[in-house]
Amino acid sequence: MNLNIDAQQQNTFDAIVVGTGISGGWAAKELTEYGLKTLVLERGRMVTHPDYPTATKDPWDFPNAGRPTQEDLKQQGVQARTGYTIQQATKHWFVNDLENPYTEVKRFDWMRGYHVGGRSITWGRQSYRLSDMDFEANAKDGIAVDWPVRYKEIAPWYDYVESFIGVSGQAEGLPQLPDGKFLPPMELNCVELDLKKAIKDKFGRLLTIGRTAHATAPLPHSPQRGTCQYRNLCSRGCPYGGYFSSVSSTLPAAEKTKRMTLRPNSIVYEVIYDEAKGKATGVKVLDAETGEHVEYFAKIIFLCASTFGSTFILLNSISNRFPNGLGNDSGVLGHNIMDHHLSVGAGGEIDGFEDQYYSGRRANGVYIPRYRNVGKDKRDYLRGFGYQGGASRQGWSTLVAEMNIGADLKDAVTKPGKWSIGLTGFGEILPYHENFVVLNKDKKDKYGLPTLTFDAILRDNELKMRKDMAADAAEMLESAGFKNIKTYDREIGVGLGIHEMGTARMGKDPKTSVLNKWNQIHACKNVFVTDGSFMTSAACHNPSLGYMAFTARAVEYAVGESKMGNI
């Protein structure tokens, strides 16, 4: 009995998926549904729906009103940079920064969680489609490289993934923000409706309800999911399955096929490349619990480990054929880091609407789609931005600064306060070769693996855009009668948007891109990369829905190629 052959066979699958987040869960579902025996590797711990430790706790169930302790901030200092990620209710979904260090040449914010489901548990759920305005932008502007696809090729895949995950929204007929297959939209509140009318009348601009991956109607094809209960505690994980996450949605679909093997605590650090065969044959895994090194083999490999996760694996996969990282003939692997820049906008207060309120906690806000550099509008910068935000009535916290104390305070606080509103911009960051990440073999993480060094900044185009992002918001609020308007424009690092993209971009030419139009590595045709790293430009809106669409499309292609013996 040859133990090596048996072991190899046991470790051999039709396909391997690395990562279980937004894109990995989709790869797992699609590959298994096509009949492929699929190994799904997740570097972090197991998570099973509906086991979310803090999901049903009330405010008084948390120590310290849910605030992070000084000790928490020491362990998760980078993750805390957003100001909201490290709370008692959610901190377990984010990494320990001391155990998972990286180097930032300039400030770079890398927020992540290592567990089954990844950031599909904590994501903001806003789901928008790329349009031809986005796909054509690089070619039109003479920047970076052209996308190798156009909207009409991706549209059916947006239809497909939206129908499965459930996206709530309002069809608006805007060419720069294509409508989707929507479940009923959530409501705007009284003041938001007022702002919507004002900016339409005064500026001809649209304010719509956010398009969000929430089940505002039942999804019969996903019976383990319920509908949104409007608790607005999403980032704790939702026991109702009210929003899309891998664990509540795509992974159960994969499991149902009985063709998925899910192995958590499995850190993939290298793709095994067979120089003779000219293809990848598998991956090397470090078991995070036992420290054991294991190899797994498959004909098809999908890297869905998140933008920097997948690029790390590629950079770390060195061979004679690929001395600079797997698939890196172009030299662009690791380059063109993009994100959305934010922390800029305006807020204000409005008198009136005293007799109006809302009930339920809407886990969604308003969305103002991009209007800058659209149609005839021409600014002194390229691309543009959208706004997210919302209105609400002030609660008890505004009374700290007021005169009331004692019984008077208790009385005052029962009456909902003044209406206030905020609009926060999300701006497109251009692809710059000079914004890049490299492997750092001198600094190791707790597993002895190399770490990453980031060197990326906002540049002239972004900074010019931010002026409009603040001024336009203020102007729109003023037009609707808001008072006490304050703009803000905080100095931030790339990464704070937590929409990191690029570093393994797709393109027509293998000399200037890593992937082709099918998310397939030009130079290694049985490896596909479908997380944010494939993005050739960033657009200005939340990208995750796109990752899902491209992943499903890439799996169909990969399976077809495999059947034809091409990979």
Partner 1 sequence: MDRREAIKRTAWIMGGVVSAPAIMGVLKGCAAKPSIDWKPVFLSEDQSILVSEVAEIIIPKTDTPGAKETGVPSFIDLMLKDVYSKEDQDHFLAGLKEFDAAAEKEHGDPFIELSPEIQMAFVKKTHDAAVEAERATTPAPKRPFILMAKELTMLGFFTSEPGATKVLQYIAVPGAYKGCIPLSEAGNGKTWAT
Interaction between residue 409 and partner 1 (CB under 8 A): yes
Count Cβ atoms within 10 A of the Cβ of residue 292 and give its class: 0-12 exposed, 13-18 middle, 19 or more buried: exposed
Interaction between residue 407 and partner 1 (CB under 8 A): yes
Site for partner 1 in 347-386 (CB under 8 A): 354-362
SS3 476: helix
Q: Which is nearer to partner 1, 422 or 431 (CB)?
A: 422
Interaction between residue 55 and partner 1 (CB under 8 A): no
Interaction between residue 84 and partner 1 (CB under 8 A): no
What is each CA distance from 325 to 158, 410, 491, 514, in whole angstroms?
31, 63, 34, 11
Using CB under 8 A, count the residues that bind partner 1: 53
Interaction between residue 406 and partner 1 (CB under 8 A): yes
In the complex, least distance from residue 560 CB atom to partner 1, rounded to whole angstroms: 43
Q: Which is nearer to partner 1, 3 or 401 (CB)?
A: 401
Q: Which is nearer to partner 1, 107 or 231 (CB)?
A: 231
> CA-CA distance, 330 to 92, in Å (whole number)?
39
Interaction between residue 48 and partner 1 (CB under 8 A): no
Nearest to 515 by CA among 371, 370, 341, 333: 333
Q: How many CB atoms lie within 10 A of CB 213?
A: 31
Residue 67: partners with Cβ closer than 8 Å, 6 or more residues away: 87, 88
Which range of residues in 200-208, 368-376, 390-398, 540-548 is near partner 1 by CB under 8 A? 390-398
Interaction between residue 153 and partner 1 (CB under 8 A): no
Residue 140: partners with Cβ closer than 8 Å, 6 or more residues away: none
Q: Which two tokens stand for residue 253?
A: 């679909």
Residue 557: partners with Cβ closer than 8 Å, 6 or more residues away: 518, 520
> CA-CA distance, 369 to 172, in Å (whole number)?
10
Site for partner 1 in 193-252 (CB under 8 A): 193, 229-232
Q: Which is nearer to partner 1, 331 or 396 (CB)?
A: 396
Contact criterion met (CB below 8 Å) for 128 and 541: yes
> CA-CA distance, 492 to 498, in Å (whole number)?
12
In the complex, least distance from residue 417 CB atom to partner 1, rounded to whole angstroms: 7
> CA-CA distance, 197 to 186, in Å (whole number)?
17
Q: Which is nearer to partner 1, 272 or 412 (CB)?
A: 412
Q: Which is nearer to partner 1, 290 or 414 (CB)?
A: 414
| Rg for the chain, CA atoms, rounded | 24
Q: Which is nearer to partner 1, 248 or 519 (CB)?
A: 248
Q: Which of 3, 60, 83, 152 binds partner 1 (CB under 8 A)?
A: 60
Contact criterion met (CB below 8 Å) for 211 and 544: no
Interaction between residue 86 and partner 1 (CB under 8 A): no
Which range of residues in 59-67, 145-153, 277-285, 436-444 is near partner 1 by CB under 8 A? 59-67
In the complex, least distance from residue 364 CB atom to partner 1, rounded to whole angstroms: 9
Count Cβ atoms within 10 A of the Cβ of residue 374 and give its class: 0-12 exposed, 13-18 middle, 19 or more buried: middle
Q: Which is nearer to partner 1, 60 or 84 (CB)?
A: 60
Terminal Cα distance for the chain, rounded: 31
Q: Which is nearer to partner 1, 46 or 409 (CB)?
A: 409
Q: Which of 29, 129, 340, 393 binds partner 1 (CB under 8 A)?
A: 393
Which range of residues in 51-59, 100-108, 301-309, 502-510 is near partner 1 by CB under 8 A? 51-59
* Contact set with partner 1 (CB under 8 A): 56, 58-60, 62-71, 186-190, 192-193, 229-232, 354-362, 393, 395-397, 399-403, 405-407, 409-410, 413-417
